[in-house]
Amino acid sequence: MHIAKRISRLGTESAFEVLARAKALEAKGRSIINLGIGQPDFRTPDNIVEAGRKALADGHHGYTPANGILPLREAVAADIELRRGVTIDPDDVLIVPGGKVTMFFAALLFGEAGAEIMYPDPGFPIYRSAIEFSGATAVPIPLYEENGFSFSAEEVLSKITPSTRLIMLNSPANPTGGVVPKEEIDKLVAGLEAHPDVAIMSDEIYSRLVYDGREHVSLLSYPSIRERVILLDGWSKTYAMTGWRIGYSVWPKAVVEAVNRLAINDHSCVNAATQFAAMEALTGPQDSVDTMWRAFDERRKIITQELNQIDGFRCAEPAGAFYAMPNIEGTGMTARELQDGLLEEAGVATIAGTSFGVYGEGLIRFSYAASTEQILESMERIRAFLAARG
């Protein structure tokens, strides 16, 4: 058999690999605290589950339009108006099977040999994977610990060449928990006005998870670049719906027809009952979102304080999402050595920063979407592991 060369250009997401290793260790009787995978440890709120169940009972068993049912796209538009202050046409919304699909479609739409696409590093690993799969050259945007893991707008602008087609951005960010300050976004947008052919994909899947009174700043809210911004958002993180597989994107009018064609070729539509559940999520009570937010905020403070008390660790307080990414250079270990040691010997699953790009060396990611007891127990285990190494 000869499989196509482009398949070898696909990367992966180490969180799933670490999850599999953690499960294998658990199956052998080991106690593992999983701070690796990035998903809420809450159940999907009951009203949402019920809406999905009701949709099935009501007979919503068939295909839907490829871009999603109109009432859901209207609910997305209303939510964007409410939270981002931007009016959009529901016909520019594409309902997709998870936020990931938006980044893959954006890469397929703009990427080909000779094209360049920028992505954050350390960043969600699928950006680079999708870019390289498309045949384009992946150009990293370094994120700096000393800047709260923001990019420098000046540096991003300096990397634009005549081949640059698309810039992928993510704030609040996985894996760093960083939030790009509004001043930096303002600077970037002002500079992008000189590059009218460059599209921007803004991954805002953690937009509801910002802390300390910060407001989420959406790239979609800048009129000067509005017609070339792709917004990536969804339900997975906000509503604890990672397994339902649904997300949404907003596309520039000029490419809506093309992405709808991609959807028809790829998955036909998102499963109908899930779309009804997602509609209830947006239009129903939001108190579960607030409850989850408060829990994440509390754990964020606890984990930051605890990580800073570990010899060799230094952790800036994350501003968003549910990740903390301490600098671990003081341990004398590489990120990968520490990840493997913590998993195999201490029973704590984390993800090496290098899984998120070359700029992730010296860092490891903790997902604090776990109970306070698990977080505190994991810190004990890490201290014991490091003490035993001397």
Distance CA 315, CA 301 (A): 11
Going through the chain in order, the beta strands assigned E by DSSP cover 33-34, 93-96, 116-121, 137-142, 164-170, 199-203, 229-234, 247-250, 323-324, 348-349, 351-352, 364-367
202 counts as binding ligand PLP under rule CB under 6 A: no
Q: How far is the CB of 135 from ligand PLP (least distance, A)?
A: 22
Distance CA 87, CA 226 (A): 11
Figure out which of the listed residues 34, 44, 67, 100 binds ligand PLP, where binding follows CB under 6 A. Answer: 100
Nearest to 232 by CA among 220, 247, 249, 207: 249
Q: How far is the CB of 165 from ligand PLP (least distance, A)?
A: 20
Number of residues that bind ligand PLP (CB under 6 A): 13
320 counts as binding ligand PLP under rule CB under 6 A: no
Figure out which of the listed residues 14, 164, 170, 171 binds ligand PLP, where binding follows CB under 6 A. Answer: 170
Q: How far is the CB of 101 from ligand PLP (least distance, A)?
A: 7
Q: How far is the CB of 168 from ligand PLP (least distance, A)?
A: 10
Nearest residue (CB) to ligand PLP, 170 versus 378: 170
CB 127 within 8 A of CB 103: yes
The stretch among 92-100, 156-164, 209-217, 286-294 that binds ligand PLP (CB under 6 A) is 92-100
Figure out which of the listed residues 36, 52, 99, 353 binds ligand PLP, where binding follows CB under 6 A. Answer: 99
Taking CB atoms, the residue at the shortest distance from ligand PLP is 98
CB 346 within 8 A of CB 382: yes
The stretch among 2-10, 95-103, 109-117, 337-345 that binds ligand PLP (CB under 6 A) is 95-103
Burial environment of residue 56 by CB neighbours within 10 A (0 to 12, 13 to 18, 19 or more): middle
The stretch among 27-35, 64-72, 97-105, 350-358 that binds ligand PLP (CB under 6 A) is 97-105
Structure tokens at 30: 């080991």
Residues 6 or more apart whose CB falls under 8 angstroms from that of 302 comprise 368, 372, 375, 376
205 counts as binding ligand PLP under rule CB under 6 A: yes
Beginning with the edge strand found earlier in the chain, give each strand of the sheet holding 137-142 in spatial order. 93-96, 247-250, 229-234, 199-203, 164-170, 116-121, 137-142
Q: How far is the CB of 57 from ligand PLP (least distance, A)?
A: 26
234 counts as binding ligand PLP under rule CB under 6 A: yes
Figure out which of the listed residues 236, 304, 339, 355 binds ligand PLP, where binding follows CB under 6 A. Answer: 236
Figure out which of the listed residues 203, 233, 280, 306 binds ligand PLP, where binding follows CB under 6 A. Answer: 203
Question: 209 — phi, psi (to 5°)?
Answer: -110, 75
Distance CA 274, CA 276 (A): 5
Can you tell me whether residue 12 is helix, strand or coil?
A: coil
242 counts as binding ligand PLP under rule CB under 6 A: yes
Figure out which of the listed residues 34, 134, 174, 218 binds ligand PLP, where binding follows CB under 6 A. Answer: 174
125 counts as binding ligand PLP under rule CB under 6 A: no
Q: How far is the CB of 34 from ligand PLP (least distance, A)?
A: 14
Nearest to 133 by CA among 107, 166, 114, 109: 107
73 counts as binding ligand PLP under rule CB under 6 A: no
Structure tokens at 154: 């000046």
Window 27-56: residues binding ligand PLP (CB under 6 A): 38
Nearest residue (CB) to ligand PLP, 209 versus 328: 209
Figure out which of the listed residues 148, 247, 326, 362 binds ligand PLP, where binding follows CB under 6 A. Answer: 247
Nearest residue (CB) to ligand PLP, 272 versus 333: 272
Distance CA 105, CA 114 (A): 18
Q: How far is the CB of 170 from ligand PLP (least distance, A)?
A: 5
Read off the DSSP letter of residue 147. G
Q: How far are the Cα atoms of 176, 308, 324, 384 from residue 345, in angstroms, in the given order?
A: 25, 21, 21, 10
Residues near ligand PLP (CB under 6 A): 38, 98-100, 124, 170, 174, 203, 205, 234, 236, 242, 247
